[in-house]
Structure formats: C-alpha cells, structure tokens
Structure 1
Amino acid sequence: MPRVTPLASLVAALLLAAACAGPPASTPPGPAAAPSPAGSSAGDAMSGIDVVFLSTMIGHSERTLQIVRLAGSRLRDNSLRTLAAAIEATEADELAEMRGWLPTAGPGAGTAGHDHAGHGDDDALDRLRAATDADVDRVLREVLADHQRAAADLARAQVGVGRDERVRDLARRIERSRTAEVELLQGYAAQISSAPAGPRSS
C-alpha cells in the first residue's frame, strides 16, 4: 500500500476544502466595483485555501534555503553550484513576497506557523551533513529533487483550487520553476551516470 506523506495529505486537504467551499458566489448585476487602491495586497481577496498555501510554501522555502546553504560551499560540480545559487536567490525573493502578503490575510494569518516536519524530508539536512565531500553533490541532487518536486505538486494543486489570483499566479511560477529544477537535477545525475569511467590504475 503506498505511503501517504504529510504533504500529499495537505494537497488532498486543499482540494477537499475547495470542493466544500463551492464556486464563488455570483455578484448581482450593478455598477462595476471601484478599482482597488494603489498598494492593495493579495490579502484583499485571500481565502483560507490561499492562506494555507502561503503558510506551507513559506515553511517549504525556508527548508530549501537551509538545504542549499548547507551544501553550497562543498559542491564540486560548477553547474550544480550555479543552480543551487539560483534556487537560493529565487526562493529568497519569493519568501519576501509571501511574508509580505500573509499578514494582510486576516486575524492570526500573519503569525501562522508551519512545521518543517510536514514536508516528509526531515532527514535531508542530516543526509547532507553526513555526506562525504566526494558524495555531497549526489546527495544534494537527490534530496533537492524530492523537495522541489513536492513544491511543484503543492503549487499545481493551488492553481486549481486557489481563490486569490495573485497567489495563483505565484503558484504557477513556483510549479514551472520547481519542475524545471527537478529536470535539471535529474539531468545532472544522468550525465554523471553515463560518463565514461576514467582509466584504471594498474
């Protein structure tokens, strides 16, 4: 029987919450609503589903930064080092964006915490710490590919059920970027596994 991870349960909860909420209520005909004032935040139309997604992605991205920063100085492959630096920059920017949105979503949303244990990758940092210098590139590719694949799955679910369009747009960007990152990480692994072995010493 397949193991259900906490993140998979969260995706299922998002879908169930959307089904229970039903479609947005229709607005009776009338004058067009006034445009939102300049500087209005994503929280102006944010639903509970959007808050759950943002809270979860904040915790997930915080863990991503821990992973890449722990391994970054030890990486040997230049391409992998460049990718790790790009991931760190991208997710740091996204974190600032999400942290700016969440406090506007309603009472208590700004302080909503998230347990990193919910991502199902609690041993990722331990694996990286225990990896030898010769093995750290491989370990990072493995743990980061799993971690980013989970983020893409969560973002894909949010695109389908989210209510706030700015949060859904962020989810689309996350889904695309994490999927591309997983492909790159797996591509690096394939290149290494198919590389010809060096000459053996006699």
Structure 2
Amino acid sequence: MTIRSSLSTAPRGPRARRRTALVAAVAAAGLLLTACGGDSGDSGSMDGMDHGGSRPSTGSASAPAGGKNPAPGAFNDADVMFAQMMIPHHEQALEMSALADGRARDAEIKKLSARIAGAQKPEIEKMRSWLAAWGKPESAGGGMDHGSESGSGSESGSDAESGSGMSGMMTAQDMAGLKASQGKDFDRKFAQLMIDHHRGAVEMAEDERKNGRNATARKLADEVVAGQSTEIDELTAILGRL
C-alpha cells in the first residue's frame, strides 16, 4: 500500500515515465520467458514420452530423392528381416532356375523354372528398394550372419549353408548335385529341392504376415504365400509322375 501511494504521488516527469516503462517491459519479458520455458519443458517431456512409448525398432520409410516411396508408412524389425532374408532366398531360387536351361527334360519343369525366375527377380528389386528407403543394409550382418558361418563371404545364395537361419536353403552339396544332374534325374532333384525351398519361403512369409507392420511388405508376403504354395502343389504333382 505504501509503494502504491508513493508511486501515485511521485513526480511524473519524462525520466520517471521512461523508468516506469522500462520496469514494465522487463517484467513482461520475464513473464514471457517463463511461459516459453514452461512450454518447452512440456513439449520436451511429451517428446520423451513419445520416443519411449514407441519401439526403437519401428520407423517410417523416406522416399528417395526425386522418387516415390517404395514402402510408405511405418515398418519394424520383422519387415526389415523379411526383406534381408528373402533377398538371398530368392537369389538362390534364381540360381536353381537358371540350371534348368540345358539340363531339364520335362516341359513343365522348364516352364515352371522360367515362371519362378520371372516372378522372383522383380521381387528382389522391390525388397532392395525398401531397405534403401528404410536406411537398412541389404544384409542383416551380425544380426543373422547370412552365409557368414560358411566363411566364404560370397553373395551367392547357394553359398549360404543351412545354418544361415533361412529355412529351405540348399547347401553347397545340394547345388553341386543339381548342377551335375541331367534329364529326368535333374527334373526330380529340381522338383524336390524347389519344394523344400518354397516351403522355407512360405514359412518366412507367414512370419512376416504375423509380425510385420509395413503394408507393402505384408502384401508381398501374402503374394509369396499364395504363389509359392500353388507352385509347391504343381511341383508335387510333377514329382509324382516322374
């Protein structure tokens, strides 16, 4: 009360008015800084809650410069692992299919091997584009050690031994036996090995359908299950008559 009285009775010259205005400006700035600081703290706290609430393995794909995002939306570790494992799995199927040229005798084996190559090569490119958009390596590296247990370091699918963690993969011995066969013997070996190979792909695709998050990856998994299940039935029928 005393302060208010003294201020109201103080001389109101230019200097006093400037001093009063300065005090008011400083007080207003202090209130503004306090409010901003409170907002920043709240925002940072919310950011921390958001990051903590979402799994570190989850992210969103970014479109390549000047291009369309090949796998838009969120993705998780299951999506990444699906692509990283299915690429070498498909590559081995391409290698197996290529052997049919000059070795296969059965017309259906020749036709089916060409269809497998025609379907799986574009799928490899799709999955590579996803990994690039997700900022992930093509190989799982230390996570899965695709083929690293063989010690060869080769990128060839056939060099990945059965211990690579990918179901249905042929061993080097399997591939050598297929390469050495001809005619009806090749047809039988090819059908049986490809049935096992396809079953492994279906198993991985089923895992992606169950655990994956990215819609594009899950769609391809659906296609793998449908397409390769049909081919398993066809190969089984061929094997039965050979």
Structure 1 residue 133, shift from structure 2 partner: 3.3
Structure 1 residue 111, shift from structure 2 partner: 5.5
Structure 2 counterpart of 1:164, one-letter code: N
Residue in 2 that maps onto 1:95: 124
Secondary structure in 2 aligned to 1:75?
Answer: coil
Residue in 2 that maps onto 1:151: 201
Structure 1 residue 44, shift from structure 2 partner: 4.5
Q: Find the partner of 1:39 among 65, 68, 84.
A: 68
RMSD of Structure 2 on Structure 1 (CA): 2.2
1:77-156 correspondence to structure 2 within 5 Å: 77-106=106-135, 108-110=136-138, 112=140, 114-115=146-147, 116-117=160-161, 118=164, 119=166, 120-122=169-171, 123-156=173-206
- Larger RCO (CA under 8 A, 6+ residues apart): 1
Report whether the alignment pairs 1:61 with 2:90: yes
Structure 2 counterpart of 1:78, one-letter code: A
Structure 1 residue 121, shift from structure 2 partner: 1.7
Residue in 2 that maps onto 1:174: 224
8 Å CA contact retained: 2:69, 2:133: no
Structure 1 residue 46, shift from structure 2 partner: 1.9
Structure 1 counterpart of 2:196, one-letter code: D
1:38-86 C-alpha deviation (Å, 9 max, x unpaired): 8223165221111111000001001110111123321111111001100
Residue in 2 that maps onto 1:49: 78
8 Å CA contact retained: 1:51, 1:109: no
8 Å CA contact retained: 2:103, 2:186: yes
Stretch of structure 1 that moved more, 167-176 or 124-133: 124-133
Structure 1 residue 126, shift from structure 2 partner: 1.3
Percent identity, please. Answer: 28
The whole-number CA distance in structure 2 between the counterparts of 1:188 and 1:134 is 11
**Structure 2 CA distance for partners of 1:41 and 1:93, relative to 1, 3 Å:** closer
**Structure 2 CA distance for partners of 1:134 and 1:187, relative to 1, 3 Å:** closer
Structure 1 residue 90, shift from structure 2 partner: 0.2
The whole-number CA distance in structure 2 between the counterparts of 1:132 and 1:59 is 25
Unaligned runs of 5+ in 2: 1-52, 55-61, 148-159
**Structure 2 CA distance for partners of 1:126 and 1:43, relative to 1, 3 Å:** farther
Unaligned runs of 5+ in 1: 1-23, 26-35, 193-202
Structure 1 residue 134, shift from structure 2 partner: 3.8
Stretch of structure 1 that moved more, 128-137 or 62-71: 128-137
